[in-house]
Amino acid sequence: MQAKPALVTNLLCLSLLAACGIKQASPSTPIRARILSSQDGVYSLRDVNFSTLVNVEHMQGSLGTILGHASASVDADPSEIIAASNPDGLYRKRGQTVHLDYIVKNGTVIPQSFASMEMLGLYYNFERTVMFWQEQLGLDFTSIGLPRLFYNPSLSRSKNGQEEKISEVMNAAYLSGIKDLWFYQTSPREKIPVKMNFGIVAHEFGHYIFDYAFAKFEPAAYETNLLSNSELLSGMNEGIADFFSYMVAGNAKEFAKSLPELEAERSLPVSWTLSTLRSAACEGGHYCRGSILASALYEISQSPGQSAIAVGKNVLANLPYFQHRWESEAMDELVDESLLLTPLLTSEGVDKSLYCKVFLKWFDTKSLQSNLPCNT
Ligand SMILES: [Zn+2]
């Protein structure tokens, strides 16, 4: 009988403590957190400030919410998934709010699990990327909209009437049809988790910008009846996303921080040109040709009087015109990069002789050169 009141008191204390704990643990905005983050290509544990994160427990902010526990069935091939326009057909679970495990020390959020650190890192990189486009290139995302962020979506396909789990098929992906960004489960191969890599998050967002500026988010805008045109466009999309990633993250060797094997194939500039592409030690398929475009844009941005932002603005401004040419020329006829290179080098105010010199160097085949309005 004596024990009863004591037990009740203990329970009360516990619940009071818990309540006090939660109160203490709600950080004030702007939220500051200790995470592994990149500054000029160097990753270290840093205290960083978030400008748009409002609720750290559920990773909600004015740029969006990180969604976890989504699952998708991916019976179709990857290109169909990426272009899928019906989320109901793709998602079996649409994703839920996440719960972060953290403590607050002297006003700084300290994540208490690997997943919590990853989600903070993902949001931080996303925020830095979106704000860069907003502030440096003047894009207004309140009218354009933003993609949704999926943390570790689980994928499965049906095999012999049974659902079979697929481990990761890609490390990160932008799904153009439904405008979602997927960041897959981290594999032990990643030195820095892909979702914490500023360059990779900026690259995926680069595809979103391409989808907006080139396609106005219309899957039909990419259409062609020729497989090699479709490969060419995929490569150009990759190359432009790589250049945009460099522009935003300020480092041309950022991907290799996560996956060292990408150093030779994706760090800018690459070691091959269009004429040596076939014999190049590059196994990335259409990425290898895309890297030539990325390298050319990179070289222009490094020239005196130029900057990555100036080149990025020129690309952004000419993507709608590129689409226009794509629509009228690429459906049944073989095309090449000149569909974009020509508007880039004839744009008002650009240094045409510099653009010509660099494009002729990287796209060094007679047939492509003859399509450029440069004196060859
Ligand atoms: Zn990509």
CA 241–ligand 1 middle distance (angstroms):
6
CA 369–ligand 1 middle distance (angstroms):
27
Classify 217 in phi/psi space as left (phi over 0), alpha (psi -120 to 50) or beta: left
Q: Do the Cβ atoms of 252 and 246 come closer than 8 Å?
A: yes
Higher pLDDT, 166 or 9: 166
Q: Do the Cβ atoms of 45 and 34 come closer than 8 Å?
A: yes
233 domain residue, yes or no: yes
91 domain residue, yes or no: yes
164 domain residue, yes or no: yes
Residue 33 has pLDDT above 80, yes or no: yes
Q: Do the Cβ atoms of 308 and 301 come closer than 8 Å?
A: yes
61 domain residue, yes or no: yes
**177 and 94: one domain?**
yes
pLDDT of residue 12: 38
How far apart (Å, rounded) are the C-alpha atoms in residues 109 and 124? 13
80-133 tens-digit pLDDT? 777 777 777 788 888 889 999 999 999 999 999 999 999 999 999 999 999 999
Cα Rg of the chain, angstroms: 24
218-241 tens-digit pLDDT? 999 999 999 999 999 999 999 999
Q: Which domain holds residue 228?
A: 224-376
**235 and 111: one domain?**
no
Burial bucket for residue 185 (CB in 10 Å: 0-12, 13-18, 19+): middle
**125 and 212: one domain?**
yes
pLDDT of residue 10: 37
CA 173–ligand 1 middle distance (angstroms):
7
229 domain residue, yes or no: yes
How far apart (Å, rounded) are the C-alpha atoms in residues 196 and 10? 42
pLDDT of residue 76: 66
Neighbours of 51 (CB within 10 A): 15
35-87 tens-digit pLDDT? 999 988 899 999 999 999 999 999 999 999 999 988 887 776 666 777 777 77
**145 and 284: one domain?**
no
**178 and 34: one domain?**
yes
CA 26–ligand 1 middle distance (angstroms):
36
Rounded to an integer, what is the distance from CA 217 to the centroid of its chain?
16
**171 and 96: one domain?**
yes
Number of folded domains in the chain?
2
CA 138–ligand 1 middle distance (angstroms):
23
77: amino acid identity, one letter: D
Q: What is the mean pLDDT of residues 199-218?
A: 97
**288 and 352: one domain?**
yes
**216 and 228: one domain?**
no
**198 and 235: one domain?**
no
Percent of the chain with pLDDT over 90: 69
Least trusted range by pLDDT, from 260-274, 300-314, 353-367: 260-274
Nearest to 246 by CA among 222, 230, 273, 270: 270
CA 64–ligand 1 middle distance (angstroms):
21
Residue tagged 């326009």 (tokens): 85
Q: What is the CATH number of the domain that holds 127?
A: 3.10.170.10
**56 and 134: one domain?**
yes
User: What's the token pair of residue 313?
Assistant: 């603005």
Higher pLDDT, 24 or 278: 278
Average pLDDT, the chain: 89
Neighbours of 310 (CB within 10 A): 15
